[in-house]
A and B are shown apart, each in its own frame.
Chain A
């Protein structure tokens, strides 16, 4: 592949403006790090195929977490090990895009071991670049699943042993046992000959996706001079001598010539009859019609619901989004699972919206439903000026601080208790909120309850709770 000019690929940004600090021209990688070489090979291929503008990278946690500093493409950075799952979603939603997954060995073979296995097994039409540097680089040189026997790392100070830590995982060999992957090759980022092979493998793997030929992965043995504590120029010999015998180079699977293009369109979702198949009552439920908004200001609310575990906080979020959906709104529901989930507080983010929803996160809220005191204290500052604050006055014994929001004190737990169970305090709040804003039709919401509450016995009480919450607002505000 001789060229007239070898220069920075156009798929890279001219200046790395996203990079922090004064230097916007060089990467954040250590001198001699293999990530940069692989980046260049990918970038040149995107240039060659002219697919930069429809390429979406999914970046890992690890030293390449900042890949989006460099590539003038779509970029998503995801949780540790989860890139193949996120890439699956992106590719299915945008089958015409080129989805490139980039992962280190800790990310792919360690914490994300199952993700890659399942994505490969499904034969997702994505391309995975797997950087095997035998170590966790970013966190300072801990053992990775690919660490060599005898190799000293911060977590194997006496050297990795078969007895204690097991032998290294050979990822391409492992995946080649699966039926679906179409091309799996291991290359090494070392001398000129191997670099050329690596470039060809990168090109082939991306081309396979352009042609819709299923799951491909290129594993690159890459220097991490910092983690290995050797000079860059020694690190390439180290790969030849230490890594290549254990991780043999070459294609472990290549059936690209024999595979037909996989149709790009994911199987369409057919809602008809799904209710019966899943044995849910949805089909027998009357559609909740839109209510009549009491004020313009109540449109498209960003709602935060918070309280303690056991108050049905997450279920209240589900109820809002379910009814909103049945009423024809765009909705989102995002439960927040922190360490606090265990025993402490729970909260969820809900959006009900006419326009499409960009992000399900609710940071500033239009509405806060606070079911206990810590939730009020924690989230009250995030309500927008002019917003709505509903609090359970049977449990919250302090006054809210804000004087620029509308406050509705609802003795929800007390009302629920009178109905027969404190557990339906959440639905009292639902009724109160709907009555106040008119965002949904109250009667329809009451009728729709069986579509998200499965325990039939509790349905009448919950329905009563919604009605009582609404009644309280009508009578007191």
Chain B
């Protein structure tokens, strides 16, 4: 009898874009493995289309944080995985 393994809970995270620190270079969008970031339609204070989180699906991997050249434009947090 084979034991049915529960699918491992997907790691969960959340990403916050500080809109006025973003220069819309698009690196985070290209690099995000989950493809949960997009360029916003609107402009920020500097006149760039900032990056925007779709609101769901972030794993908290931090890849976008290192892809981003701005010191404080991206904040990523890991959340407790849902059991």
Asked whether B23 is an interface residue with its Cβ less than 8 Å from the other chain, the reply is yes
Please name all residues of chain A whose beta carbon is closer than 8 Å to the beta carbon of B65 when the two chains form the complex.
6
Q: Total contacts A to B, CB within 8 angstroms?
A: 97
Please name all residues of chain B whose beta carbon is closer than 8 Å to the beta carbon of A191 when the two chains form the complex.
31
Interface size counted on chain B using CB atoms at 8 A: 32
Asked whether B57 is an interface residue with its Cβ less than 8 Å from the other chain, the reply is no
**In the complex, are the beta carbons of A6 and B71 less than 8 A apart?**
no
Among the interface residues B25, B31, B46, B76, which one has the most CB atoms of the partner chain A within 10 A?
Answer: B25
**In the complex, are the beta carbons of A40 and B67 less than 8 A apart?**
no
Mark interface residues in A15-31 (1 if CB within 8 Å of B CB, else 0). Answer: 00000000101110111
Asked whether A233 is an interface residue with its Cβ less than 8 Å from the other chain, the reply is yes
**In the complex, are the beta carbons of A32 and B71 less than 8 A apart?**
no
**In the complex, are the beta carbons of A40 and B66 less than 8 A apart?**
yes
A223 to chain B, nearest CB (A): 9
**In the complex, are the beta carbons of A5 and B71 less than 8 A apart?**
no
**In the complex, are the beta carbons of A26 and B76 less than 8 A apart?**
no
Asked whether B75 is an interface residue with its Cβ less than 8 Å from the other chain, the reply is yes
Chain B, residue nearest A44 (CB): B66
**In the complex, are the beta carbons of A25 and B62 less than 8 A apart?**
no
Asked whether A387 is an interface residue with its Cβ less than 8 Å from the other chain, the reply is no
**In the complex, are the beta carbons of A6 and B76 less than 8 A apart?**
yes
In chain B, positions 40-54 with a C-beta closer than 8 Å to chain A are: 45-46, 48
**Of the residues A23, A35, A39, A192, contact of B63 by C-beta under 8 Å:** A192
Asked whether B72 is an interface residue with its Cβ less than 8 Å from the other chain, the reply is yes
Mark interface residues in B7-47 (1 if CB within 8 Å of A CB, else 0). Answer: 00000000000101111111100110100000000000110
B16 to chain A, nearest CB (A): 9
**Of the residues A3, A4, A26, A233, contact of B26 by C-beta under 8 Å:** A233
**Of the residues B25, B70, B73, B77, contact of A233 by C-beta under 8 Å:** B25
Asked whether A91 is an interface residue with its Cβ less than 8 Å from the other chain, the reply is no
**Of the residues B45, B63, B69, B74, contact of A29 by C-beta under 8 Å:** B69
Please name all residues of chain B whose beta carbon is closer than 8 Å to the beta carbon of A33 when the two chains form the complex.
69
Distance between Cα atoms of A192 and B61 in the complex (Å)? 11
**In the complex, are the beta carbons of B73 and A26 less than 8 A apart?**
yes
**Of the residues B21, B30, B71, contact of A9 by C-beta under 8 Å:** B71
Please name all residues of chain A whose beta carbon is closer than 8 Å to the beta carbon of B18 when the two chains form the complex.
25
**Of the residues A36, A195, A232, contact of B71 by C-beta under 8 Å:** A36
Please name all residues of chain A whose beta carbon is closer than 8 Å to the beta carbon of B25 when the two chains form the complex.
31-32, 225, 232-233
Please name all residues of chain A whose beta carbon is closer than 8 Å to the beta carbon of B31 when the two chains form the complex.
191-192
Distance between Cα atoms of A23 and B23 in the complex (Å)? 13
**Of the residues A5, A43, A192, A232, contact of B76 by C-beta under 8 Å:** A5
**In the complex, are the beta carbons of A34 and B63 less than 8 A apart?**
no
A106 to chain B, nearest CB (A): 20
Please name all residues of chain B whose beta carbon is closer than 8 Å to the beta carbon of A304 when the two chains form the complex.
none
Please name all residues of chain B whose beta carbon is closer than 8 Å to the beta carbon of A25 when the two chains form the complex.
18, 20-21, 72
Chain A, residue nearest B18 (CB): A25
Please name all residues of chain A whose beta carbon is closer than 8 Å to the beta carbon of B70 when the two chains form the complex.
26-27, 36
Known: A192-B31, A233-B30. A36 touches B72 (CB 8 A): no
**In the complex, are the beta carbons of A26 and B21 less than 8 A apart?**
yes
Distance between Cα atoms of A196 and B45 in the complex (Å)? 31
Known: A5-B77, A191-B31. A12 touches B24 (CB 8 A): no
Please name all residues of chain A whose beta carbon is closer than 8 Å to the beta carbon of B77 when the two chains form the complex.
4-6
A25 to chain B, nearest CB (A): 5
B72 to chain A, nearest CB (A): 4
**Of the residues B45, B48, B67, B74, contact of A192 by C-beta under 8 Å:** B67
Known: A25-B21, A192-B31, A232-B26. A37 touches B72 (CB 8 A): no
Distance between Cα atoms of A2 and B26 in the complex (Å)? 23
Please name all residues of chain A whose beta carbon is closer than 8 Å to the beta carbon of B46 when the two chains form the complex.
23, 26
Asked whether A271 is an interface residue with its Cβ less than 8 Å from the other chain, the reply is no
Known: A6-B76, A31-B23. A192 touches B71 (CB 8 A): no
Asked whether A351 is an interface residue with its Cβ less than 8 Å from the other chain, the reply is no
B10 to chain A, nearest CB (A): 15
Known: A6-B62, A6-B76, A192-B31. A70 touches B26 (CB 8 A): no
Chain B, residue nearest A12 (CB): B71
Chain A, residue nearest B33 (CB): A192
**In the complex, are the beta carbons of A35 and B69 less than 8 A apart?**
yes
Please name all residues of chain A whose beta carbon is closer than 8 Å to the beta carbon of B30 when the two chains form the complex.
233, 236
B75 to chain A, nearest CB (A): 5
**Of the residues B22, B69, B74, contact of A6 by C-beta under 8 Å:** B74
**In the complex, are the beta carbons of B27 and A32 less than 8 A apart?**
yes
Distance between Cα atoms of A225 and B23 in the complex (Å)? 13
Asked whether A199 is an interface residue with its Cβ less than 8 Å from the other chain, the reply is yes
Asked whether A54 is an interface residue with its Cβ less than 8 Å from the other chain, the reply is no
A8 to chain B, nearest CB (A): 4
Q: List 24 A-B contacts (CB under 8 A).
A: A4-B77, A4-B78, A5-B76, A6-B77, A25-B72, A26-B73, A29-B69, A31-B23, A31-B24, A32-B23, A32-B26, A36-B69, A37-B66, A39-B71, A40-B66, A40-B69, A41-B66, A43-B71, A192-B33, A192-B63, A195-B67, A232-B26, A232-B27, A233-B25
The 5 A-B residue pairs with the shortest CB-CB distance in the complex, in nearest-first order? A36-B69, A31-B23, A8-B72, A32-B25, A6-B65
